[in-house]
Structure 1
Amino acid sequence: MTDAVATSDPRPVSGKGGSGHPSFAPRLLTDLLDHAVATWPERVAIDFMGRRWTYAELGSLVDHAARGLQDIGVKPGDRVGLCLPNTPYYVILYFATFRVGGIVVNLNPLYVERELCHLIEDSGCEVVATCDITSIHDKVTKVAEQLKLRKLIVCPISGALPTFKSIGYRIFKRGEIAQVPQDALHVQFHALVASDKKPDPVSVKTDDVAVLQYTGGTTGEPKAAMLTHGNLTANCAQMGVFVEGQMDPNEQQRILGVLPLFHVFALTSILNYGIDNGAELVLLPRFELKQAVDTVARTKCTTFYGVPTIYGALNNLSDKDLAKLSSIQWSVSGGAPLPFDTRQRFEQRMGTPLVEGYGLSEASPIITCNPLGAPPKDNSAGPAFPGTVIEIRDLDDPTKVLPQGEKGEICARGPQVMKGYWNRPDADAQVFVDGALRTGDVGYLDEDGYLFIVDRMKDLIIASGYNIYPRTIEEALYEHPAIAEAVCIAIDDEYRGQAPKAFVTLKAGQSATVDELCDFLRDKLNKLEMPKAIEIRDELPKTLIGKLSKKELVAEEKEKAGRN
Structure 2
Amino acid sequence: MERENWIWAERYCHPAQWDQAFAPMSAPDMLRASATAHPDAPLIDFMGRIYPYSEVLDGAKRVACGLRDLGIERGDRVGLYLPNVPHYVAAYYGALMAGAIVVNFSPLYTAAELEHQVEDSGTRVLFTLSARALLPTAIEVLNNSRLERLVVGSVAGALPKSKALFYTLFRQKEVAPRPNDGRILSFSALIDNDGLCETLHFDPEKDIALLQYTGGTTGTPKGAMISHQNLTANARQVALLDPHPEQVDRVLGVLPFFHVFANSCVLNRTVAMGGEIVMLPRFDAGQVLASIERTKATSLPGVPTMYQALLDHPAIGKSDLSSLRVCISGGAPLPLEVKQRFEAVTGAKVVEGYGLTESSGVISSNPYEGLNKTGTIGQPIPGTRVKLVSREDPTQPAPAGEPGEIVFAGPQMMCGYWKRPDADEEVFVGGYLRTGDVGVIDEDGYIRIVDRLKDMISVGGFKVFPSQVEAVLYHHPAVKEALVIGIPDTYRGESPKAFVTLQEGATIDGPGLMDWLNPQLGKHERVVAVEIRASLPKTLVGKLSRKELVAEEKAKAAAAT
Q: If the TM-score is normalised by the length of the shorter chain, which range does it land in? A: over 0.9
The aligned counterpart of 2:181 is 183
1:45 corresponds to 2:20: no
**Contact 1:65 1:92 (8 Å CA) reproduced:** yes
How do 1:280-429 residues align onto structure 2 when only pairs under 5 Å count?
280-317=276-313, 321=317, 323-402=319-398, 405-429=401-425
Deviations along 1:492-533, whole A, 9 cap, x unmatched? 011101111111000112221112211221332112111111
**Contact 2:224 2:414 (8 Å CA) reproduced:** yes
The structural deviation recorded for 1:21 is: 4.9
Q: Which sections of structure 1, spanning at least 5 residues, go unmatched?
A: 13-19
Counterpart selection for 1:279 from 253, 265, 275:
275
The aligned counterpart of 1:164 is 162
For 1:23 and 1:459, locate their aligned partners in 2 and report how far apart those are by CA, in whole Å.
35
**Secondary structure, aligned partner of 1:335:** coil
For 1:9 and 1:300, locate their aligned partners in 2 and report how far apart those are by CA, in whole Å.
36
The aligned counterpart of 2:76 is 78
**Deviating more after overlay: 199-208 vs 330-339:** 199-208
Runs of 4+ in 1 over 6 A off after TM superposition: 9-12
**Contact 1:29 1:233 (8 Å CA) reproduced:** yes
The aligned counterpart of 1:221 is 220
Does the C-alpha gap of structure 1 residues 100 and 81 become closer, same or farther in structure 2, counting only changes over 3 Å?
A: same
**Contact 1:5 1:404 (8 Å CA) reproduced:** no
Does the C-alpha gap of structure 1 residues 135 and 315 become closer, same or farther in structure 2, counting only changes over 3 Å?
A: closer
Deviations along 1:407-427, whole A, 9 cap, x unmatched? 010000111100000110000
The aligned counterpart of 1:235 is 234
Does the C-alpha gap of structure 1 residues 345 and 405 become closer, same or farther in structure 2, counting only changes over 3 Å?
A: farther
1:494 corresponds to 2:464: no
Query: How high is the TM-score relative to the length of structure 2?
Result: 0.96
The aligned counterpart of 2:530 is 534
How do 1:111-126 residues align onto structure 2 when only pairs under 5 Å count?
111-126=109-124
The structural deviation recorded for 1:170 is: 2.1
**Secondary structure, aligned partner of 1:268:** helix
Give the letter aligned to residue 369 of structure 1: S
**Contact 1:65 1:96 (8 Å CA) reproduced:** yes
Q: More relative contact order in 1 or in 2 (CA 8 Å, sep 6+)?
A: 1
The aligned counterpart of 2:460 is 464
RMSD: 1.8
Counterpart selection for 1:198 from 193, 196, 199:
196
**Contact 2:61 2:196 (8 Å CA) reproduced:** yes
The aligned counterpart of 1:55 is 53
**Contact 1:217 1:223 (8 Å CA) reproduced:** yes
Does the C-alpha gap of structure 1 residues 328 and 322 become closer, same or farther in structure 2, counting only changes over 3 Å?
A: farther
Does the C-alpha gap of structure 1 residues 442 and 246 become closer, same or farther in structure 2, counting only changes over 3 Å?
A: same
**Contact 1:7 1:389 (8 Å CA) reproduced:** no
**Contact 2:310 2:316 (8 Å CA) reproduced:** no
**Deviating more after overlay: 347-356 vs 450-459:** 347-356
**Secondary structure, aligned partner of 1:305:** coil
The structural deviation recorded for 1:451 is: 0.4
**Deviating more after overlay: 287-296 vs 200-209:** 200-209
The structural deviation recorded for 1:356 is: 0.2
**Secondary structure, aligned partner of 1:25:** coil
**Contact 1:487 1:504 (8 Å CA) reproduced:** yes
For 2:278 and 2:480, locate their aligned partners in 1 and report how far apart those are by CA, in whole Å.
29
The structural deviation recorded for 1:201 is: 2.2
For 2:401 and 2:314, locate their aligned partners in 1 and report how far apart those are by CA, in whole Å.
41
The aligned counterpart of 1:31 is 29
Q: Which sections of structure 2, spanning at least 5 residues, go unmatched?
A: 13-17
- Percent identity of equivalent pairs: 45
Give the letter aligned to residue 163 of structure 2: K
Give the letter aligned to residue 126 of structure 1: R
Give the letter aligned to residue 220 of structure 1: G
The aligned counterpart of 1:561 is 557
Give the letter aligned to residue 491 of structure 2: Y
**Contact 1:21 1:389 (8 Å CA) reproduced:** no
Does the C-alpha gap of structure 1 residues 26 and 9 become closer, same or farther in structure 2, counting only changes over 3 Å?
A: farther
The aligned counterpart of 2:134 is 136
Deviations along 1:317-337, whole A, 9 cap, x unmatched? 458646421110111100111
Query: How high is the TM-score relative to the length of structure 1?
Result: 0.95
Give the letter aligned to residue 46 of structure 2: F
Does the C-alpha gap of structure 1 residues 525 and 272 become closer, same or farther in structure 2, counting only changes over 3 Å?
A: same
Does the C-alpha gap of structure 1 residues 152 and 341 become closer, same or farther in structure 2, counting only changes over 3 Å?
A: same
Does the C-alpha gap of structure 1 residues 197 and 387 become closer, same or farther in structure 2, counting only changes over 3 Å?
A: closer
Give the letter aligned to residue 239 of structure 2: G
**Deviating more after overlay: 472-481 vs 404-413:** 404-413
Does the C-alpha gap of structure 1 residues 430 and 417 become closer, same or farther in structure 2, counting only changes over 3 Å?
A: same
For 1:203 and 1:39, locate their aligned partners in 2 and report how far apart those are by CA, in whole Å.
20
Give the letter aligned to residue 513 of structure 1: D
Give the letter aligned to residue 177 of structure 1: V
Does the C-alpha gap of structure 1 residues 479 and 92 become closer, same or farther in structure 2, counting only changes over 3 Å?
A: same
The aligned counterpart of 2:5 is 5
**Secondary structure, aligned partner of 2:419:** coil
For 2:197 and 2:120, locate their aligned partners in 1 and report how far apart those are by CA, in whole Å.
28
Deviations along 1:263-307, whole A, 9 cap, x unmatched? 000001000010111111111011100001001111110111000
Does the C-alpha gap of structure 1 residues 195 and 26 become closer, same or farther in structure 2, counting only changes over 3 Å?
A: same
For 2:401 and 2:385, locate their aligned partners in 1 and report how far apart those are by CA, in whole Å.
16
For 1:361 and 1:466, locate their aligned partners in 2 and report how far apart those are by CA, in whole Å.
31
For 1:313 and 1:356, locate their aligned partners in 2 and report how far apart those are by CA, in whole Å.
17
For 1:486 and 1:320, locate their aligned partners in 2 and report how far apart those are by CA, in whole Å.
23
For 1:242 and 1:526, locate their aligned partners in 2 and report how far apart those are by CA, in whole Å.
39
**Contact 2:7 2:444 (8 Å CA) reproduced:** no
The structural deviation recorded for 1:489 is: 1.1
The structural deviation recorded for 1:10 is: 8.9
Aligned length: 553
Counterpart selection for 1:109 from 107, 110, 117:
107
For 2:180 and 2:375, locate their aligned partners in 1 and report how far apart those are by CA, in whole Å.
55
